[in-house]
Amino acid sequence: MSDRLAIVVPCYNEEEVLPICIDTLKKVLADLIGKGKVDAGSFLLFVNDGSKDRTWEILCERHAADPQIAAVGLAKNCGHQSALLAGLMTAKEHADICVSMDADLQDDVSVVEQMVDHYHEGCDIVYGVRSSRKKDTFFKRFTAESYYKLLAAMGVKTVYNHADYRLMSKRAIEELSRYRESNLYLRGLIPQLGYKTAEVTYERGERAAGESKYPFKKMLALALNGITSFSVTPIRFVLDMGLIVLLICLCAAVYAFVSYISGNVERGWTSLILSIWFLGGVQLLAIGVIGEYIGKIYAEVKHRPLYNIDTVLYRETE
């Protein structure tokens, strides 16, 4: 008997692309089932992250007509990472393998078969990795590549050019469920699980329909979360900066004393004002970085749930 596969897709206001996504992924499942690589009871699981359009209505209609389409409705919008986690935690109760991907179909669905093949070869986690970023704008390509390099420099273990397109076995998801972090960054968390992994490369395409639900503001928030959730380097950087500023101030004090002894003293306020501004900026930067970490500690100690599930639509298929 083959293993049961669940393809988990978080959705937020995806009414335009959702019908295309469902039909495309159903073909992927049918092909894998026909080849005997996954069980006939494999299914699609869509997570409605508090959408304000007809996303949930479409999912209800498609589920009523096709038991192969399952859906989870969250009580409110919780964010992409939390919605994805909700889908994985729900899917693991009914499936042996989960593949997560976005609804926009920019990720190449044809490599799902390669992911499943790697799973059968003994891999618990298979990452979908972009082969290049030629289709991105210069700004997006530069910032993304710089971000991955920055994470590596700070000691954060991630997979270069990988987002949330991946396969995970049931035991890998079970292990993931033991991590109770409120500041969720799955791209940094999953590589810490330690199971056997593999990578498949693909060329990322254009969005099938609709507009991106991940604007620059959300991307920046996710990037900052990834840095501060897995590295204390920013705090150490502030400490180093403080020591450097202290050294500069000591040198300036020696210079001022020597100038006073030699009688070469120029009266003025420019250097004084600039030093005050500089030290004030360093202090504000230090307070901001430390405050970011304190805020995360505050969120963690409350232990609030990352998501609230309102409805689960699931039917066993033959």
Q: Give 122-138 pLDDT, tens digit per residue.
A: 999 999 888 776 666 66
pLDDT at residue 25 in the model: 94
Per the structure block, which two tokens stand in for 213? 């639900």
Report if pTM > 0.85.
no
pLDDT at residue 137 in the model: 65
Contact 153, 145 (CB under 8 A): no
Which pLDDT band holds residue 269 (cuts at 50, 70, 90)? very low
Which pLDDT band holds residue 62 (cuts at 50, 70, 90)? very high
Is it the case that residue 227 has pLDDT exceeding 60? no
Residue 152 corresponds to which amino acid? A
Per the structure block, which two tokens stand in for 40? 């006939």
Mean pLDDT for 58-63 is 93
pLDDT at residue 115 in the model: 93
- Residues 171-208: pLDDT tens digits? 999 998 888 777 777 877 888 888 898 988 888 766 55
Query: Average pLDDT of the chain?
Result: 79
- C-alpha closest to that of 90 among 144, 46, 148, 139: 46
pLDDT at residue 129 in the model: 86
- Residues 285-317: pLDDT tens digits? 777 677 777 766 766 666 777 778 888 888 776
Residue 165, SS3 per DSSP: strand
pLDDT at residue 236 in the model: 65
- Residues 12-46: pLDDT tens digits? 988 888 999 999 999 999 999 999 999 998 999 99
Per the structure block, which two tokens stand in for 58? 């479409």
